[in-house]
Chain A
């Protein structure tokens, strides 16, 4: 069974740029959730995708957007990067939008 994988591991961008982060869900899982974890804090829910449709969204602006593909992998896109977007971005997969979520190792984004 393959776990959740994320790419890239680290990324450095400058303010105003755009970034795309990628996630492959655990084998058999059809739901992907994205979280932002600032240094020293708990994760904050960004949104969830279930069967290629957005299935809920946290308190994040529209410049945070996502996609889910037919193989259930997912992308997180952030436009017009701000310094406060610097964080660890976590992807979690689950089955059927379920509560038991399994996390990838995250992508560390630094915005300069």
Chain B
């Protein structure tokens, strides 16, 4: 019940396309859902996060869609660029806690 399941494991998209990465969870107590971007040899960097009281949040080219009833959330990257090639992680936590539960990651490659 503590797991966050992320898919796909890897994704290849042409430049300008819209990669979509999906995550699903079971624990209905989760109320904070961040996405992190990690480049090789670097620590994860917070991209965008959402709370379950909204269904969508946009920050620049990154959009989170959230479906509370399905217990799913996804990351969309608009106008993707080769520089977006990285591993993306979804995570979840709950307000009374500090512990992030992470998905397994998606390795994204944007082809020029």
Contacts and interface: CB of A to CB of B under 8 A. Distances in A.
Which has the most chain A C-beta neighbours within 10 Å: B44, B49, B102, B104? B44
B54 interface: no
A42 B99 contact: no
B102 A44 contact: yes
Given A33-B98, A58-B99, A99-B93, A42 B104 contact: yes
A48 B99 CA distance: 8
Interface stretch (A12-20, A63-71, A79-87, A103-111): A103-111
B104 A103 contact: no
Contact of B105 (A42, A45, A56, A100): A42
A103 B45 contact: yes
Contact of A43 (B32, B44, B93, B98): B44
A4 interface: yes
B43 interface: yes
A105 B43 contact: yes
B69 to A, nearest CB: 23
B98 A56 contact: yes
B44 A45 contact: no
Nearest to B45: A103
Contacts of B101: 45
B46 interface: yes
A105 B93 contact: no
Contact of A106 (B6, B43, B100, B104): B43
B50 to A, nearest CB: 12
Interface of A: 4, 31, 33, 35, 40-45, 48, 55-56, 58, 90, 92, 94, 97-106
